[in-house]
């Protein structure tokens, strides 16, 4: 296992600078945020993407995953407004194209939250339709999609590993799996060790952060209440060999270097044991 860092924490930096600062902090990879000012929709030209790939190679950083700007704005894959849902699918397709151009193997997708009065059955079906379209699109570009289960403030459709597995089994796409966020799992009282065991090969990526067990605060690991050593042990025993992406909160964007450094210093010894 290796550590990567979501470029979102460098929100106030150019993506080029975020890459360089992430490398300087000691990470092996970076999870590129698909929002502005980094890699939103069609903002990057082919020449700029080529320059970013060259910089990544020079910085010895792998692109661990691509994280589109999601969570209600600007997308909702389960929306009962078909204009919004279709545009959301188109946006994620654009993100998949950017991810492929940058060399990312995985794109994370958020389930979305139904609107008042919509109903979970309607939201579930619309989300399934969206994911079905996206999986077919991603497969043609050799990209895997990873659903991110989240707490009730972010989704009312896929909150646990079991929810995600039900959707994966329903659609039957080999390139559809899960990004497990320990912070979300902690808030919904799901055992990460059990989730890892249930997922098996469907665990495509991991987000790592800390919180108080009540809200998903995306704190630097060690600043909350989550117990990290058993989580790392469970991943190791399951044979997970991918990246652990430190996904830190908006609050750290005012001093991202300190948060990035402290996170790496705390995680790296756990991975070396």
DSSP string, 54-100: HHHHHTT-EEEEEEES-TTSS--TT-SSHHHHHHHHHHHHHHHHHHH
Among residues 134, 51, 136, the alpha carbon closest in space to that of 95 is found at 134
Q: Which domain holds residue 204?
A: 2-272
- Per the CB < 8 A criterion, the answer to whether 209 and 246 are in contact is yes
What pTM does this model have? 0.96
Note the pLDDT tens digit of each residue in 59-116.
Answer: 999 999 999 998 777 899 999 999 999 999 999 999 999 999 999 999 999 999 999 9
Q: At what angle do helices 120-139 and 161-171 cross, to 10 degrees?
A: 60
Q: What is the pLDDT of residue 71?
A: 78
Mean pLDDT value across the chain: 96
- Domain at 159, CATH number: 3.20.20.150
Note the pLDDT tens digit of each residue in 184-208.
Answer: 999 999 999 999 999 999 999 999 9
Q: What is the pLDDT of residue 80?
A: 97
In the chain, helix, strand, coil percent, each to 5?
45, 15, 35
Q: How many domains does the chain have?
A: 1
Q: What is the pLDDT of residue 139?
A: 98
Summarize the confidence of residues 168-193 as an average pLDDT: 98
Note the pLDDT tens digit of each residue in 106-143.
Answer: 999 999 999 999 999 999 999 999 999 999 999 999 99
Q: What is the pLDDT of residue 272?
A: 84
Q: What is the pLDDT of residue 18?
A: 98
d(CA 208, CA 114): 26
Note the pLDDT tens digit of each residue in 204-231.
Answer: 999 999 999 999 999 999 999 999 999 9
DSSP string, 183-195: HHHHHTT--HHHH
């Amino acid at each position: 296992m290796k550590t990567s860092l979501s470029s979102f924490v460098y929100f106030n930096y150019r993506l080029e600078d975020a890459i360089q600062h992430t490398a300087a902090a000691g990470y092996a990879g970076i999870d590129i945020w698909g929002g502005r000012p980094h890699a939103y929709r069609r903002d990057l030209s082919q020449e700029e993407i080529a320059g970013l790939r060259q910089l990544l190679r020079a910085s010895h950083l792998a692109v661990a995953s691509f994280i589109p700007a999601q969570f209600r704005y600007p997308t909702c894959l389960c929306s009962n407004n078909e204009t919004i849902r279709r545009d959301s699918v188109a946006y994620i397709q654009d993100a998949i194209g950017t991810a492929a151009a940058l060399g990312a193997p995985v794109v994370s997708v958020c389930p979305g939250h139904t609107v008042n009065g919509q109903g979970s059955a309607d939201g579930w079906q619309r989300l399934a339709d969206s994911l079905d379209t996206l999986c077919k699109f991603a497969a043609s570009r050799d990209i895997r999609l990873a659903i991110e289960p989240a707490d009730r403030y972010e989704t009312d459709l896929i909150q646990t590993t079991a929810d995600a597995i039900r959707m994966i089994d329903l659609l039957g796409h080999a390139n559809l799996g899960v990004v497990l966020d320990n912070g979300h799992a902690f808030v919904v009282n799901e055992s990460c060790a059990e989730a890892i065991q249930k997922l098996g090969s469907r665990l495509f990526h991991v987000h790592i952060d800390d919180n108080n067990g009540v809200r998903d605060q995306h704190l630097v690991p060690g600043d909350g209440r989550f117990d990290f050593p058993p989580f790392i042990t469970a991943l190791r025993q399951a044979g997970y060999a991918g990246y652990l992406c430190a996904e830190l909160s908006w609050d750290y964007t005012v001093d991202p270097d300190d948060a990035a450094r402290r996170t790496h210093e705390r995680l790296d010894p756990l991975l070396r044991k």
